[in-house]
């Protein structure tokens, strides 16, 4: 279920909101950590626990949506990041626990958002065609 929380407009706190219990077809399940409240300058590490498919066969992507804004692609466990997220955002995985993690360092008020983890329908059999375009089969 989606949980939205209010941002403290005084800048004393910021919200890191994640979407939990996202279930896809064929019993594929991506389960995210609960929402957190952090202060600017702190760090947060969000988890996405995956079940129902082989973790090594698909990329998991992280996306966020700030209040009143469009969705933004952050990156994936293929070590690819959108340029605006390369410095403070770190995506890691732990095969043994079937988990993906998104860590954000030095949080700012601009990081207040709903964060999603998602699996693409294609497998890891992807080929980079150009710098920013990818073909998946």
Judge whether 93 and 102 are in contact, CB under 8 Å: no
**Contact predicate 122/10, CB 8 Å:** no
| In the chain, where the domains are located | 14-121
Pair 122, 111: CB distance under 8 Å:
no
Query: What is 14-121's CATH superfamily?
Result: Immunoglobulins (2.60.40.10)
Asked whether 21 and 31 are in contact (CB, 8 A), the reply is yes
Q: Is the pLDDT of residue 127 over 60?
A: no
Q: If you search the block for the tokens 């989606």, which residue do you land on?
A: 2
The angle at the Cα of 78, spanning 71 to 72, to the nearest 5 degrees, equals 10
Burial class (CB within 10 angstroms; exposed 0-12, middle 13-18, buried 19+) of 53 = middle
Q: Backbone dihedral region of 80: left (phi > 0), alpha (psi from -120 to 50 degrees) or beta?
A: beta
Q: How far apart are CA 74 and CA 60, in angstroms?
A: 11
- Global pTM? 0.68
In this prediction, what percent of the chain has a pLDDT beyond 70?
66
pLDDT for the residue 26: 60
Diameter of the chain measured on Cα atoms: 47
Contact 124, 59 (CB under 8 A): yes
DSSP, res 70: -
- Read off the pLDDT of residues 52-92 as tens digits, 9 standing for 90 and up: 776 667 788 999 999 999 999 999 887 788 999 989 999 99
């Amino acid at each position: 279920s989606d949980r939205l929380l209010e941002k403290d407009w005084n800048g004393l706190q910021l919200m890191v909101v994640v979407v939990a219990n996202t279930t896809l077809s064929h019993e594929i399940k991506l389960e995210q950590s609960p929402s957190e409240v952090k202060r600017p300058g702190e760090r947060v590490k969000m988890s996405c626990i995956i079940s129902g498919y082989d973790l090594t066969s698909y990329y998991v992507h992280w996306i966020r949506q700030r209040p009143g804004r469009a969705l933004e692609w952050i990156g994936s466990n293929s070590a690819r990041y959108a340029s605006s997220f390369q410095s403070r955002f770190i995506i890691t995985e732990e095969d043994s626990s079937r988990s993906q993690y998104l860590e954000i360092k030095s949080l700012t008020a601009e990081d207040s958002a709903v964060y999603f983890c998602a699996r693409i329908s294609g497998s890891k059999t992807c080929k980079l065609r150009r710098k920013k375009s990818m073909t998946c089969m």
